[in-house]
Each structure stands twice: as structure tokens, then as C-alpha cells.
């Protein structure tokens, strides 16, 4: 829709410029001078009048051409502004800054995909001064992490390119945080394909899939639900012991 609007404005601008040039020619000015004068006039360059004889400058055709050139100038301003803001949006300055920071990292940790577990790990490791890069498929998640000054790249965690963007070649660990064991296995395979030396720590949801995860290249296995349960159990036992003493 936006491109169609731009093309329409460009067509109108070109048509108006042709009309203003013809008007200048009808005033008795040569075609070459008319084109140059209208180009400069459309760009709001006022010394363009030196190209025309004094009598021509007061000719009604030239005056009409000047009015049309004023409209052309306004349309050109709209086009340039539209192209500029579109260019800025397409570049995504903040993303480029983050990617530049990531390229300088060494011995960092990559967590993928971003979710509750990955978020908790980023907070915990970040508080210890460890550099962590998250991978997410969602732009809205990336924007939120940008606002929190966290490092994140956007893309499919099953594509090698996204791990390259996360600078996995200098990373120490990759933590596969999905609740789906199959996805974690694919993450491990993809990560090891880009950097065979990186150590992969994988979340495990089902004990039956442990062998599959290890064969995929996992260095360590974690079961946060079990760990959380054990921690809660320990706290409950302490509380009960205090009340029975």
C-alpha cells in the first residue's frame, strides 16, 4: 500500500514537472534552459532566475511554471521524508547496535529459545556479570529485551545463521531452554554444526528422551521442574522440622 502511494506521488511529481517545463518553453525559453531552470526551481533554488532573461521572468507562463514547481518541491519533500523514515525503520538502528556488541563477546552464553526459563537464566547470570545472548523468533520479545538493555537476536533457532548472529563461534555454552525435547535436540545439533567446540546444556522434559538429547550433542542435562520440586521439598521439610521441635 505504501509503495503504491509512493509510485502515485512520483507519477504526479513527474507529470507536474513536465507541465512546468512546457509552460517555460511556451514563454519563449529554449528547452535546455527551461529544463535546468525548472529543476533548480523545483529544488527551491532561487538563483535559478539568472538562467532566464528579465522579461521572461515576468511572463505569465513562467509565473505559472513557478507555481507548479512549488507544488513539485512540496511533493519531493514528502517523497524524500518518506524514503528516509522507511530507510531508518528497515535498518533498525537498535538491532545493529546490539549485533555490534554481540560480535565483540567471548566466552558468553547463548540461551534459546527465549521464554520463562531463559529469562530467569538471563537475570541470574547477568547479575553475576556473565554475558548472555538470547535467541527469539518474536519481534515484540526482542523489543522488550532491547528496552531492558539485554542482548538478543531474532530468528529461527533451527537455522545456523541465527547462531552465527549470536556469535556462537566464541561462545562458551548454549542452553537449550525449550519445553519440547525434540526442539532442544534440534537446537543442539544446529549449535554443534556451527561450533563443534561449544558445550550445549539442554533442558529435559521427559526422561525417555535423555539418550536422544545426549546423542544430539548435549553436554549436560537439566530438569528445572525436578530441581524446583526438590528445592521446595527441602524448604517444606525445614519448616515442618521447626514446628515439630
Structural domain containing residue 32:
2-91
206 and 133 in a single domain? The answer is yes
> Which sign, positive or negative, has the C-alpha torsion 91, 93, 98, 102?
positive
54 and 139 in a single domain? The answer is no
76 within domain boundaries:
yes
Range with lowest mean pLDDT among 53-62, 171-180, 199-208, 216-225: 53-62
Residue 184: count of CB within 10 angstroms of its CB: 29
> Which among 43, 75, 91 is the end of a domain?
91
Tell whether the model's pLDDT for residue 223 goes beyond 90: no
Cβ-contact 156, 135 below 8 angstroms: no
20 and 136 in a single domain? The answer is no
Residue 188: count of CB within 10 angstroms of its CB: 24
The domain spanning residue 202 has which CATH number? Answer: 3.40.50.720
Q: How far apart are CA 174 and CA 107, in angstroms?
A: 11
243 within domain boundaries:
no
What is the pLDDT confidence band of residue 113, given thresholds at 50, 70 and 90? very high
Tell whether the model's pLDDT for residue 165 goes beyond 90: yes
Domain count, the chain: 2
Give the residue carrying C-alpha cell 531452554: 177
11 within domain boundaries:
yes
Range with lowest mean pLDDT among 30-39, 43-52, 66-75: 43-52
130 and 156 in a single domain? The answer is yes
**Contacts with 240 (C-beta within 8 Å, 6 or more apart), sequence order:** none
217 and 110 in a single domain? The answer is yes
> Which among 91, 126, 155 is the end of a domain?
91
Cβ-contact 198, 192 below 8 angstroms: yes
* Percent of the chain surpassing pLDDT 90: 27
Q: What is the mean pLDDT of the chain?
A: 81
61 and 135 in a single domain? The answer is no
Give residue 121's pLDDT.
86
Count CA within 13 A, CB hemisphere, residue 225.
Answer: 8
49 and 123 in a single domain? The answer is no
Cβ-contact 106, 170 below 8 angstroms: yes
242 within domain boundaries:
no
Per-residue model confidence as pLDDT tens digits over 81-91: 877 777 666 55
Range with lowest mean pLDDT among 44-53, 136-145, 171-180: 44-53
113 and 187 in a single domain? The answer is yes
Q: How far apart are CA 40 and CA 182, in angstroms?
A: 64
Give residue 147's pLDDT.
86
Range with lowest mean pLDDT among 12-26, 38-52, 124-138, 213-227: 38-52
46 and 160 in a single domain? The answer is no
245 within domain boundaries:
no
The reply to whether the predicted model has a pTM over 0.75 is: no
Residue 155: count of CB within 10 angstroms of its CB: 17
77 and 103 in a single domain? The answer is no
Mean pLDDT over 192-206 rounds to 92
Amino acid at each position: 500500500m505504501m509503495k503504491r502511494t509512493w509510485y502515485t506521488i512520483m507519477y504526479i511529481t513527474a507529470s507536474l514537472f513536465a507541465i512546468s517545463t512546457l509552460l517555460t518553453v511556451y514563454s519563449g525559453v529554449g528547452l535546455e534552459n527551461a529544463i535546468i531552470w525548472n529543476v533548480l526551481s523545483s529544488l527551491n533554488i532561487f538563483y535559478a532566475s539568472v538562467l532566464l532573461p528579465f522579461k521572461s521572468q515576468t511572463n505569465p507562463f513562467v509565473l505559472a511554471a513557478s507555481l507548479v514547481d512549488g507544488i513539485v518541491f512540496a511533493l519531493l519533500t514528502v517523497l524524500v521524508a518518506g524514503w528516509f523514515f522507511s530507510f531508518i525503520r528497515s535498518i533498525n538502528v537498535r538491532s545493529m547496535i546490539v549485533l555490534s556488541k554481540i560480535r565483540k563477546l567471548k566466552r558468553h552464553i547463548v540461551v534459546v529459545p527465549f521464554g520463562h526459563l531463559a529469562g530467569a537464566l538471563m537475570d541470574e547470570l547477568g547479575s553475576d556479570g556473565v554475558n548472555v545472548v538470547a535467541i527469539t523468533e518474536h519481534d515484540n520479545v526482542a523489543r522488550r529485551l532491547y528496552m531492558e538493555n539485554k542482548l538478543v537476536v531474532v530468528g529461527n533457532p533451527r537455522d545456523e545463521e541465527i547462531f552465527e548472529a549470536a556469535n556462537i563461534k566464541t561462545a562458551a555454552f548454549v542452553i537449550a531452554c525449550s519445553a519440547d525435547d525434540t526442539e532442544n535436540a534440534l537446537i543442539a545439533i544446529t549449535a554443534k554444526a556451527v561450533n563443534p567446540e561449544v558445550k550445549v546444556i539442554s533442558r529435559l522434559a521427559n526422561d525417555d528422551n535423555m539418550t536422544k538429547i545426549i546423542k544430539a550433542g548435549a553436554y549436560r542435562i537439566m530438569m528445572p521442574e525436578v530441581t524446583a520440586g526438590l528445592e521446595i521439598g527441602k524448604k517444606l521439610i525445614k519448616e515442618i522440622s521447626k514446628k515439630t521441635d
